[in-house]
Structure 1
């Protein structure tokens, strides 16, 4: 038989339970935020990787066709990974007239200002 006024021990008080729930809520919020940041950076990394492929493909195409583009700017589009991208290449003369420098920049559909990838390469004048 329990005495009057005696306190039971063995359970948590309401205050202890609320503090535990608050700590759990803070920890879960931080975990969900970390997962969101990871997912976003993963998408950005994929976008940059696809941009690098497009720039590499453009330089490889110029080399494979032995193109000798005039100095200036050329633009075009490329389809990669189910999306459309814009590329711009700046062709510049070098000190050696047998070479030209090509700077390729790739842009996503959403941004005309910020390049997702940049790549530079050199073309040699084809022997004919």
Structure 2
């Protein structure tokens, strides 16, 4: 019997198994990185939206009345929900402003909370 060079079927199958396990682990890691990047983008855009809304209220130069408002916004390729709450404080010359930002899920019905920014406004 002549010497044959090359790999046996068992060696090829073991190498294929090692490659498959490595590729699966790599894909899982990549998936987690992409999910974290998406969440970071949502938090960044959500904070920008909330801070912009608080600043809009601040520059109105009016003492806002207590109450709640909800509105939708399209920004950065996503559909957002903004909840604004103006709350009375024990000091009648101060109001608490809470702006919560949610992002709509892919079904455009359910929302996922992103951030809440709180500020206080004094009477002019």
> TM-score with structure 1 length normalisation?
0.81
RMSD: 2.0
> TM-score with structure 2 length normalisation?
0.83
CA contact (8 A) 2:104 2:111 kept: no
Structure with the bigger percentage of strand: 2
Any residues of structure 2 matched to 1:85-124 within 5 Å, and which? Answer: 85-110=80-105, 112-124=110-122
Shift of 1:9: 7.5
Any residues of structure 2 matched to 1:2-41 within 5 Å, and which? Answer: 4=1, 8=3, 11-41=6-36
Shift of 1:37: 1.8
Shift of 1:118: 0.8
CA distance in 2, matches of 1:96, 1:105: 23
Question: Structure 1 pair 125/16, CA: closer, same or farther in 2 (3 Å)?
Answer: same
User: Which segment drifts farther, 102-111 or 91-100?
Assistant: 102-111
Gaps of 5+ in 2: none
Which structure 1 residue ranges, 4+ long, deviate > 4 Å from structure 2?
none
User: Which segment drifts farther, 105-114 or 53-62?
Assistant: 105-114
Structure with larger Rg: 1
CA contact (8 A) 2:71 2:82 kept: yes
CA contact (8 A) 1:54 1:78 kept: no
Number of equivalent positions: 121
Shift of 1:84: 3.5
Shift of 1:24: 0.9
The answer for the alignment partner of 1:70 in structure 2 is 65
Deviation string for 1:25-83 (max 9, x for gaps)? 10011101211221122112111211111100010111111232211212223342243
